[in-house]
């Protein structure tokens, strides 16, 4: 079940970023090295337990209609998570999935980032940098997708 949640979270993060920034993915994109400073998750790993504790204790503001009956996605008040994003970043949305994952979606300048904190301690960070979507899953796997036109 955890693997399924991680897979759903990864797919959702990449799809959401692609759709919301209004670009198209294309075949034959060349993979580039992921700059460490853009998807470094050292700070996120250090705050994961606190994010999960706060997120699990909040009442949902609303529930999102999910594409999967086994997946419960709830919207949380972003004001409780301001300290977990970079200074000057604007939080767009905070979600809780099946009471076991918290995702913070924020924008910092021209970069959009989604950080997901999972109940098993793993952290995923997906961000847009220029013409790329970059993803780091718990420093275990990294991926870059070229979304240039």
User: Per-residue pLDDT tens for 60-104?
Assistant: 899 998 788 889 999 999 999 999 999 999 999 999 999 899 999
Question: Which pair of structure tokens corresponds to residue 144?
Answer: 């870059």
Confidence of residue 26 (pLDDT cuts 50, 70, 90): very low
Q: Which of 35, 81, 86, 22 is nearest to 56 (CA)?
A: 81
Do residues 124 and 118 lie in contact, with contact meaning Cβ atoms separated by under 8 Å? Answer: yes
Tell me which of 10 and 51 has the higher pLDDT.
51
**CA 116 to CA 124: how far, in whole Å?**
5
Does the pTM exceed 0.85? no
Task: Provide the pLDDT confidence category of residue 36 given band limits of 50, 70 and 90.
Answer: low
Q: Return the top range by mean pLDDT from 4-8, 22-26, 88-92.
A: 88-92
**Mean predicted lDDT score pLDDT of the chain:** 81
State how many domains the chain has: 1
Query: Above 70 in pLDDT, residue 7?
Result: no
> Which residue range forms the structural domain that includes residue 72?
2-146
Residue 70 vs residue 126, higher pLDDT: 126
What is the average pLDDT across 122-136? 91
């Amino acid at each position: 079940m955890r693997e399924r949640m991680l897979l759903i979270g990864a797919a959702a993060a990449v799809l959401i970023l692609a759709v919301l920034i209004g670009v198209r993915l294309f075949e034959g994109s060349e993979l580039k090295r992921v700059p460490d400073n853009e998807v470094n998750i050292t700070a996120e790993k250090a705050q994961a337990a606190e994010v999960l504790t706060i997120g699990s204790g909040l009442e949902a503001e609303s529930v999102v209609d999910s594409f999967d009956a086994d997946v419960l996605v709830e919207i949380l008040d972003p004001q409780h998570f301001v300290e977990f994003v970079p200074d000057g970043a604007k939080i767009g949305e905070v979600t809780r999935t099946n009471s076991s994952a918290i995702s913070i979606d924020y924008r910092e300048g021209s970069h959009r980032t989604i950080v997901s904190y999972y109940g098993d301690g793993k952290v995923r960070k997906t961000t847009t940098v220029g013409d790329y979507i970059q993803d780091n899953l718990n420093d275990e796997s990294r991926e870059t997708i070229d979304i240039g036109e």
